């Protein structure tokens, strides 16, 4: 697998010539087709209302749902207002929980542990009362905001069902969003399920529809990145400044047993935005396609919207088309982040930055 740069790139000209990667739903129905859809206000009441989330009192990290009894449907975990609030505050602090879902899990626990350690607290990964209060004190303003769907949001364009195989992907003019819900969920760093739960009566295809969404704000790393650590044991990427201060923590999908991520220390060659993805069977050890195929740029491109090129051929840190799978699946050797996290990291990365693989 390899990728080719779109016209705009921050890579040196020599690097543009050949960059190789080592392995690295239907359109949203209209409101009339969705039961309960309404053009009225949403998020005004109920356990996941804006007020319930912004005023949420401390609640311990939810325990996993117990196994279902034989013959009974599995219990579905319910989003916690307090955990939604904590996840938004972690994202603002640049300790990313991945996709905000109100459910917790490994990504949230590791983000909490890293933030606790940075604050001089016990790095338990638990949402303790002290951690919760510290997050609130540091986070400031409400953690939700209102967003009005625009005509441009409705118009897209959207590609419908997103192909999972390279050959049909290569037939598309761009690897855009499948539908408006996917596009809005990624814009606000939230899972599609939680976006719908926050707005149960919304008509997502109506311009002017008001939504309640996480208020993640315009997060930026406070300084240039001097060192990146890829921690395989934690499935995380950490960014440090020149004083060796941790300034960013991101959940990551890192390699697999068959296609391990490198060890030791590498360097950043450069950063490319909106890369093509090139499948070349002559340079791959996986896949069934027999011809060289090019997949055009877009958020659902196999390498997402940003590629951070490393000085080991075919390896890099890049985005991903499915943010909710980050940290929970294997990659083909490269390091995957959510599209929004890799954009945040790439904005402060320059050629020559060290990338240390450990764990």
pLDDT per residue, tens digit, the chain (359 aa), is: 443 334 334 444 333 323 434 345 334 443 333 433 444 445 556 789 999 999 999 987 766 666 656 776 766 788 999 999 999 999 999 999 999 999 989 999 999 999 999 999 999 999 999 999 999 999 878 999 999 999 999 999 999 999 988 899 999 999 999 999 999 999 999 999 999 999 999 999 999 999 999 999 889 999 999 999 999 999 999 999 999 999 999 999 997 545 567 889 999 999 999 999 887 766 655 556 668 899 999 999 999 999 999 999 878 999 999 999 998 765 556 899 999 999 999 999 999 999 999 98
pLDDT of residue 279: 78
Interatomic CA distance for residues 119 and 137, integer angstroms: 12
The C-alpha atoms of residue 299 and residue 57 are separated, in whole angstroms, by: 36
Count: domains in the chain: 1
Is residue 344 included in any domain, yes or no?
yes
Residue 49 lies in a domain: no
Question: Is 121 contained in some domain?
Answer: no
Backbone angles phi, psi at 54, to 5 degrees: -65, -25
Report which of 102, 100, 106, 127 is spatially closest to residue 116, judged by C-alpha positions.
127
User: Is residue 35 domain-resident?
Assistant: no
pLDDT score recorded for residue 172: 95
Residue with tokens 């997103």: 162
73: tokens are 């449907």
Reference 319, options 295, 349, 343, 293; nearest CA is 343
Report if residue 105 sits inside a domain: no
**Residue 316 resides in a domain:** yes
Crossing angle of helices 81-92 and 106-118, rounded to 10°: 50
The predicted structure's pLDDT at residue 66? 64
Residue 201 lies in a domain: no
* CATH code of 303's domain: 2.40.440.10
Helix axes 106-118, 129-139, angle to 10 degrees: 80
Beta strand pairing call for 236-240 and 227-231: antiparallel
Domain that holds residue 296: 2-24+219-358
Rounded CA-CA distance 277/294 in Å is 6
* Predicted local confidence at residue 140, as pLDDT: 77
CA distance 195 to 43: 11
302 lies in some domain: yes
């Amino acid at each position: 697998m390899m990728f080719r740069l779109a016209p705009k790139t921050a890579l040196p000209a020599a690097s543009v010539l050949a960059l190789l990667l080592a392995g690295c739903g239907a359109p949203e129905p209209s409101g009339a087709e969705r039961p309960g859809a309404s053009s009225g206000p949403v998020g005004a009441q109920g356990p996941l209302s804006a007020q319930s989330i912004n005023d949420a009192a401390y609640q311990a990290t939810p325990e996993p749902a117990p196994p279902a009894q034989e013959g009974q449907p599995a219990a579905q975990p319910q989003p916690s207002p307090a955990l939604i609030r904590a996840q938004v505050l972690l994202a603002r602090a640049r300790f990313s929980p991945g996709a905000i879902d109100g459910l917790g899990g490994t990504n949230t626990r590791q983000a909490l542990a890293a933030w606790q350690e940075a604050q001089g607290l016990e790095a338990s990964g638990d949402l303790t009362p002290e951690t919760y209060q510290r997050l609130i004190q540091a986070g400031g303003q409400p953690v939700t905001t209102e967003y009005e769907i625009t005509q441009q949001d409705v118009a897209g364009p959207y590609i419908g069902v997103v192909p999972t195989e390279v050959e049909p992907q290569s037939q598309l003019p761009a690897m855009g969003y499948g539908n408006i819900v996917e596009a809005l969920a990624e814009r606000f760093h939230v899972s599609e399920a939680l976006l719908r739960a926050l707005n149960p009566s919304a008509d997502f295809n109506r311009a002017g529809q008001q939504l309640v969404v996480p208020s993640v704000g315009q997060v930026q790393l406070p300084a240039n990145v001097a060192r990146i650590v890829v921690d395989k044991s934690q499935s995380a990427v950490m960014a440090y400044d020149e004083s060796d201060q941790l300034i960013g923590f991101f959940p990551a999908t890192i390699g697999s047993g068959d296609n391990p991520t490198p060890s030791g220390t590498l360097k950043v060659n450069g950063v490319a935005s909106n890369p093509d993805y090139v499948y070349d069977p002559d340079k791959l050890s996986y896949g069934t396609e027999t011809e060289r195929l090019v997949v055009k740029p877009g958020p659902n491109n196999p390498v997402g919207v940003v590629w951070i090129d490393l000085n080991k051929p075919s390896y890099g840190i890049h985005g991903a088309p499915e943010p909710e799978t980050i940290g929970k699946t294997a990659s083909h050797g490269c390091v995957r982040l959510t599209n929004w996290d890799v954009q945040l990291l790439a904005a402060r990365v320059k050629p020559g930055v060290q990338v240390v693989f450990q764990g």
